[in-house]
Amino acid sequence: MTSAAIPTLMARGLVKRYGRVVAIDSADFDLMPGEILGVIGDNGAGKSSLIRALSGALRPDAGEIRLDGELVSFASPIEARQAGIETVYQTLALSPALSISDNMFLGREIRSSGLLGKLFHQLDRKAMADIARKKLSELGLLTIQNIQQPVETLSGGQRQGVAVARAAAFGSKVIILDEPTAALGVKESRKVLDLVLKVRARGVPIVLISHNMPHVFEVADRIHIHRLGKRATVIKPRDVSMADAVAIMTGALAPMTA
């Protein structure tokens, strides 16, 4: 990560107002290639608005977003995803009654190559199951035995695993994880953090939004601290203690200029 590197995802001067409430107040954001960027901030600091703007779920009133240096503008999450920004929402956006394989390919199904596929839109179930199995085992998630198992029969951690694998599977440039460990127990959180590290090892940069400071400090390369609608500072977890990070977050400590 040299200072000359172009950020994979960058935002400058983002603004979003709701009436007289300013949710994003000319905020900046930088995600460098191959890093895990933690995003922390107090409730109401506007970090979810920022993330929604980056993932296409919210249209900023002003400011610019650049992906690999190119200026982009997303009208919907679908457009952001087509550009390569995959978001794993806190709700996971999985369909409980559908199988793991169906969920991974939801909205981007593969059709059979034969006449049935062309004329009658037949799905290539086998190809999808094979790819799903391959992607899950690459991330060490094949404790899940049956790829045709409905998602609702999985544990919380396994569901999170499927959602992350879905995001990682489609050649994306950026993966945004919104509170991936919030609903999980200690052991399952551990698995998910390992998974996050595995995804980074494959070269995809990750934005990790979390309330859990130990989790963020453990896996993040840099931590973006959001306060009052803008970036207060960016710290490196080994330079700043967790207590100081919380103090910056709440305004008790002025951010030092790096």
Partner 1 sequence: MADKFDGLPGYSGEAALSDTDAPHARFDIDNVGPLGRVQRFLHAFPTMVPLIVLALSVVGFGLFAGSKFFSPYNMSLIVQQVSIIGVLAVAQSLIILTAGIDLSVAATMVLSSVIAGHLAVRLGINAPVSLLISFACGTAIGFLNGFLVTRIRLPPFIATLGTWNVFYALNLYVSGAQSIRGAEIDAAAPMLKFFGENFSLFGTQISYGSLLLVLVFGILWYALTKTAWGRHVYAVGDDREAAELAGIRTDRVLISVYAVAGLICAIAGWSAIGRVGAVSPTSFFEGNLQSITAVVIGGISLFGGRGSILGPLIGALIVGVFQSGLRIAGVDVLWQLFAIGWLIIIAVSVDQWIRRISA
Q: Which helix (H) or strand (E) holds 187?
A: helix 186-201
Nearer to partner 1, 100 or 232 (CB): 100
Nearer to partner 1, 29 or 105 (CB): 105
Largest CA distance in the chain: 66
Minimum CB distance to partner 1, residue 160 (Å): 11
Amino acid at 131: I
Q: What part of residues 122-181 is at the interface with partner 1 (CB under 8 A)?
A: 122-123, 143, 145, 149, 152-158
Q: Strands 230-235 and 174-178: what pairing?
A: unpaired
Q: What part of residues 180-199 is at the interface with partner 1 (CB under 8 A)?
A: 186-191
Cα separation, 19 vs 23, in Å, equals: 10
Q: Verify binding: residue 114, partner 1, rule CB under 8 A.
A: no
Amino acid at 148: Q
Q: Select the residue interacting with partner 1 from 44, 114, 214, 251 (CB under 8 A).
A: 214
Q: Verify binding: residue 251, partner 1, rule CB under 8 A.
A: no
CA angle (156 as vertex; 154, 162 as ends), nearest 5: 65
Q: Say how many residues touch partner 1, by CB under 8 A.
A: 47
Minimum CB distance to partner 1, residue 217 (Å): 7
Nearer to partner 1, 12 or 140 (CB): 140
Cα separation, 252 vs 179, in Å, equals: 24
Minimum CB distance to partner 1, residue 149 (Å): 7
The pairs formed by 247-255 with CB atoms below 8 angstroms and a separation of 24 or more are: 249/40, 249/41, 249/42, 249/45, 249/225, 250/42, 251/227, 255/225
Q: Select the residue interacting with partner 1 from 35, 36, 217, 229 (CB under 8 A).
A: 217
CA angle (105 as vertex; 104, 111 as ends), nearest 5: 150
Minimum CB distance to partner 1, residue 12 (Å): 27
Minimum CB distance to partner 1, residue 228 (Å): 25
Q: Which two tokens stand for residue 48?
A: 């979810």
Q: Which two tokens stand for residue 241?
A: 């203690």
Q: Verify binding: residue 200, partner 1, rule CB under 8 A.
A: no
Q: Verify binding: residue 103, partner 1, rule CB under 8 A.
A: yes
**Which has the closest alpha carbon to 220: 245, 246, 247, 238?**
238
Under the rule (CB under 8 A), what is the footprint of partner 1? 77-78, 81, 89, 91-98, 102-103, 106-109, 111, 120-123, 143, 145, 149, 152-158, 186-191, 212-214, 217-218, 238, 241-242
